[in-house]
Chain A
């Protein structure tokens, strides 16, 4: 890495006088990566608009719900433990699930279009005219569903939950309900921490082969990337079913989609499930490492394909 930091290159300096033989200072990889990710955000504004929109809609509905609750429970505010969970914990889990779910859907369609769209609109000829390698480009595109979207939706979720907490505190103020109950039941900081853990492990690592597959198809398909991404698993499932009357592939897919946590504590609430999987357990899950190996293979193939493929 070097220390070049300004956006204006040194072309007017000594290099400008004789640009022949002098090798230009290469742009640091981090900066190439930064601008490549920035580029994706410019093109796909849904990456941040959709989670924000989901949060806004949810907040609106939640506030109305809380107000209704406030006036219905005008008098006594005695809740059983189960009720307390429903009132104070469930909406927060729902908010997280809704925002994360939105991010996953956005990530799915983003990945399918990431290396296909630039070929379809021929802009790949412009991107390839710049000194950015195929590896950097593909990595920057992979970072959107694996890092940018999860972290962004995490931030949106935390802010949303904070607003929910403050909002419901205000609404319930003077209703007789104990504020302490609200704050302890929602156990805000603990939940946020669990959520971050879930995001890094599941969205960042466990799902990597899924997004790798989508990017690979998006780099390869000349048309209908959605069909090419979805049909092969379907066919494999069908062939396996008919030929061997087994469903190992389907079970494998299901395991991959529901996450490593599903096996540890089936049927319990979302936060309990997340908490049940310790880092030691997670990182010793063989599925994680095979998944990452497969993701790496898909990635290498996608990088190679981007080199070969031109506009369609």
Chain B
């Protein structure tokens, strides 16, 4: 059974179409990066998956309809939607008590274990914690829940690099056990690119790229072209071209690697470069439609 299955997902906000027929399928034990410019529909898509917003079209998450069965679904799904959504008046001990009280799959000892590795005191209120600590607390709560699907929407926005690194490290080392599925939506692509098993680009409410990382590596090739070969390389129809230190870097989709090797240094593009090549030229027009 697929973890998430969506067909023709649509969502309007007034006259703005936030989701324009999204089709996607996320299997089990994947770590999916959902990347898109501001206003591309990332958050709307995730909200639909989490049962936070109504939609048109077909959507099943773990076999359930998220809009009508949110509370049942939340026994098996966890999410961190945005940083700092923990209420400021909540004490750390109260957060543990409450989640232990209402969640059948919460392992309190595990959460205490994660918290023991931090400087968070049990009787602190959320308002007294730094932004990084609030994220640590939220992650400790979420990681102690034995969920099948974890959805993270910009979980590290505004955190310094130490916290960001730590966040993904603990997620991978202490949480991901090759049985769960994780979806991460973020702008900070460089930090997650070694972590992902799947990559999805979303733009203007549509999925514009949806491959496993193996497929990405097989399909896309970046060549730093020898100056004298530039014209020959351009003749092979790159999908994107940029300049680095005066040398052209060309990105190809479905090209013959041996042919390209003769033109310059061949490598796999970074997600950020791939994103700019695939989405970049249209991104500017969708600004302002952020949800």
Contact = CB atoms under 8 A, between A and B. Distances in A.
A, B: real partners: yes
Interface of A: 4, 7-9, 11-12, 15-16, 19-20, 24-27, 31-32, 34-36, 38-39, 42-43, 118, 121-126, 128-134, 136, 307-308, 310-311
B74 interface: yes
Interface stretch (B78-86, B161-169, B226-234, B277-285): B78-86
Interface residues of B, number: 45
10 contacts: A11-B106, A19-B179, A24-B76, A24-B104, A36-B102, A39-B98, A118-B87, A123-B86, A126-B86, A133-B71
Contacts of B101: 7, 27, 31-32, 34-35, 38
Nearest to B138: A126
A304 to B, nearest CB: 11
B81 A19 contact: no
Nearest to B147: A19
A128 B47 CA distance: 11
Interface of B: 28, 47, 50-54, 70-76, 78-82, 84-91, 94, 97-109, 138, 146, 148, 179
A136 B74 CA distance: 14
Contact of A19 (B78, B82, B94, B148): B148
Among A16, A26, A122, A308, the one with the most B-chain Cβ atoms within 10 Å of its Cβ is A122
Contacts of A307: 70
Nearest to A25: B104
Contacts of A27: 101-104
A132 B102 contact: yes
A310 B53 contact: yes
Contact of B102 (A15, A130, A311): A130
Given A8-B100, A128-B70, A131-B72, A121 B146 contact: no
A123 to B, nearest CB: 4
Contacts of A26: 75, 104
B54 A308 contact: yes
Given A12-B107, A26-B104, A27-B102, A130 B87 contact: no
Contacts of A124: 85
B199 to A, nearest CB: 25
Contact of B98 (A11, A19, A38, A133): A38
Contacts of A12: 107
B104 A125 contact: no
A131 B146 contact: no
Contacts of B74: 128-132
B87 A43 contact: yes
Given A7-B108, A43-B87, A32 B78 contact: no
A34 B102 CA distance: 9
A311 B52 CA distance: 10
10 closest A-B pairs by CB? A35-B101, A123-B87, A133-B71, A131-B74, A125-B85, A24-B104, A125-B81, A131-B75, A126-B85, A11-B107
- Name which of A24, A122, A126 has the most chain B CB atoms within 10 A of its CB: A126
A43 B50 CA distance: 25
A34 B98 CA distance: 10
A12 B107 CA distance: 8
Nearest to B54: A308
A132 B87 contact: no
Contacts of B103: 9, 27, 130-131
Contacts of B146: 11, 15-16, 19
A308 B47 CA distance: 11
A24 B54 contact: no
A9 B99 contact: no
For A16, A118, A130, which residue has the most chain B Cβ atoms within 10 angstroms? A130
Contacts of B54: 308
A7 B52 CA distance: 28
B109 to A, nearest CB: 7
Contacts of A131: 71-75, 102-104
Nearest to B110: A11
Nearest to B108: A8
B89 A32 contact: no
A42 B95 CA distance: 10
Nearest to A123: B87
Nearest to A18: B179
Given A7-B101, A19-B146, A39-B98, A132 B71 contact: yes
Contacts of A43: 87, 89-90
Contacts of A128: 50-52, 70, 74
Choose among B50, B52, B53 the residue with the greatest number of A CB atoms under 10 Å from its CB.
B52
Contacts of A15: 105, 146
Contact of A42 (B52, B89, B102, B106): B89
A130 B99 contact: yes
A8 B103 CA distance: 9
Contacts of A133: 70-71
Residue of B70, B74, B102 ringed by the most chain A CB atoms within 10 A: B102
A7 B54 CA distance: 33
Contacts of A122: 82, 84-85
Contacts of B70: 128, 133-134, 307
Contacts of B87: 43, 118, 121, 123, 126
A132 B47 CA distance: 17
